[in-house]
Amino acid sequence: MIKLMHRMGQSIFLRLESMLNVVFGSALNPFYYLGGITYLMFWIVIVSGFYIFAFYDTGVEDAFSSVEYITKEQWYMGGVVRSLHRYASDGMILFGVLHMLRYFAFDRYRNFRWFSWYTGIALLWLTYIAGINGYWL
């Protein structure tokens, strides 16, 4: 069953990679850099999160008004940074899941890569938890 999943995943990823090689070329194919793109999105989320946190009030009664201030009164920079934070968070999840699926499909999680695989799974769950907490804020 696992071998069938590996073969199906490999065929899907190889087809997608060949289509993207036509568009971007083999040197700039984004499927070859999924881990790096995820890491870039992580740092965009961190930097934009610090900016948002500087103007965010964590009080129960003041949280909504501080988000409204960031979005409306600080319209250009606050709105752009808030949108960047949200879409980079979504991109981080998307590219992280694609990265893990690609490594699973090409059977690159065994032998000496087992530690990276398990820490990646733990990081993915921690990212989900952080995303839920960020949404609640």
Residues 6+ apart with CB under 8 A from 52: 70, 78, 81, 82, 85
Half-sphere exposure of 102 toward its Cβ, with a 13 Å CA cutoff? 17
Tell me the per-residue pLDDT of 23-38, one tens digit each, with 9 for 90 and over.
999 899 999 999 999 9
CATH number (domain holding residue 122): 1.20.810.10
Total domains, the chain: 1
Alpha-carbon separation of residue 23 from 9, 47, 133 (angstroms) = 21, 31, 38
pLDDT confidence of residue 137: 74
Task: Note whether 56 and 137 are within 8 A (CB).
Answer: yes
Is residue 75 included in any domain, yes or no? Answer: yes
Is residue 63 included in any domain, yes or no? Answer: yes
| Arithmetic mean of pLDDT, 1-5 | 87
C-alpha closest to that of 8 among 105, 102, 100: 105
65 three-state secondary structure: helix
pLDDT confidence of residue 72: 81
Tell me the per-residue pLDDT of 49-87, one tens digit each, with 9 for 90 and over.
999 888 888 888 888 888 888 888 877 888 899 899 999
Residue type at 68 in one-letter notation: E
Is residue 1 included in any domain, yes or no? Answer: no
Which residue range is the domain that position 92 belongs to? 34-136
pLDDT confidence of residue 134: 82
The model carries a pTM of 0.85
Is residue 29 included in any domain, yes or no? Answer: no
C-alpha closest to that of 18 among 35, 5, 37, 31: 31
End-to-end CA distance of the chain: 42
